[in-house]
Structure 1
Amino acid sequence: MARSRTTKFDASEVITNEIIRIIERGVLPWRKPWTAGGSSRPLRVGGEPYQGVNNFLLTMRTVMAGHSSPFWMTLPQANALDAKVRKGEKSSVVVYYGQSRKDAGGEDDRSDVDDSSEEARIFRFQKSYRVFNACQIEGLP
C-alpha cells in the first residue's frame, strides 16, 4: 500500500520555528515587562489564562503583532458567537498535553496480575489547536 505524500502536522516544529522567527527579528520581548490589553497573560475566550508554553507563545505573538486584546479563541468558538475571522489573518498554534487511561475492558481479569500493570494502561498525548486573537475577529459581542 502506498503511503500518503502529505506531511503530518508537527506542533513542536511549528512552535520551534515561531520562537526562532522571534529571535531572528532581534527583539527579545521576554526580556522586558509587558501588558497585553490590560492583562499580563493571554486568556481563553472564557477568561481562563493559558499556561506553560501556550502562555509564552501567545504573549510573544500578542507583543509582536501588536494585539490589544488578551483573548484568544478557536474558529469554532468565534463562529458560535456569530463572529468571523478576518480574511488573511494567521492563526497561532497552542498545544494541550494530557494523559488518559485505557481500561482493560475485562479482557484480562486474572487475579494474579500485579498492580504494576496498571501503569501500562496510562498513556500521554499531545493535541494542537489553532487560535486567533480577538483583534483578528470581527463581530464579537
Structure 2
Amino acid sequence: MSEKIYEMVTNRMIELLEKGVVPWRRPWRVGAAVNWKTQKPYRGVNTLLLEPGEYATFKQVSEAGGKVKKGEKGQFVVFWTWLEKENDETGEIEKIPFLRYWGSTSEADTTRKVDVIKWEIC
C-alpha cells in the first residue's frame, strides 16, 4: 500500500513540474492549504501537493449540504497512522506506521452552498 502512495505522490509532483509549477517555490499568494471544517493546516508532503486554500473531504462537503461540481476529481491527501498488532511470541502490542491517503477537494470545486454553510459550522 505504501509503495502505491509513494508512486501517487511522485506522479503528482511530475505532473505539476510538467505544467511548469515548481511545488517547493513559494507562490505569490501566502498561506497554507487547510481543512475548511477544522482550519488545521495540512503538513508534510501535502504542503507541496496542495495549492494554498481550503480543502474538504467529499464526506465533509456532503454533510454540509454541498456538492462537488460535476467532473471535479479532487486531490489526494497523505497521512500516517499507527496500526496496533499483538506480537504472537511476546503478547506485547506493537505499533507499526502505516501510510494512508484520502480524497479531498478544493473549496473552489464545490457548489456555493458549502461556502455559505462553512461559516455556520466553524
Q: CA RMSD in A?
A: 2.5
Q: Name the % identity.
A: 29
Q: Structure 1 residue 22: deviation in Å?
A: 1.3
Q: How many residues align?
A: 111
- Which residue of structure 1 lines up, in the alignment, with residue 10 of structure 2? 16
- Contact 1:11–1:93 (8 Å) recurs in 2: no
**Matches of 1:90 and 1:74, distance apart in 2:** 11
Q: Structure 1 residue 29: deviation in Å?
A: 5.0
Q: Structure 1 residue 123: deviation in Å?
A: 0.9
- Contact 1:22–1:28 (8 Å) recurs in 2: yes
* Structure 1 counterpart SS, 2:55: strand
> What are the ranges of 5 or more consecutive residues in structure 2 without an aligned counterpart?
118-122
Larger relative strand fraction: 2
Q: Structure 1 residue 32: deviation in Å?
A: 4.0
Q: TM-score, normalised by structure 2?
A: 0.77
- Equivalent positions of 1:89-128 (< 5 A) are 89-103=72-86, 118=92, 121-128=94-101
Q: TM-score, normalised by structure 1?
A: 0.67
- C-alpha change, 1:11 and 1:96, in structure 2 (3 Å) is same
> What are the ranges of 5 or more consecutive residues in structure 1 without an aligned counterpart?
1-8, 63-69
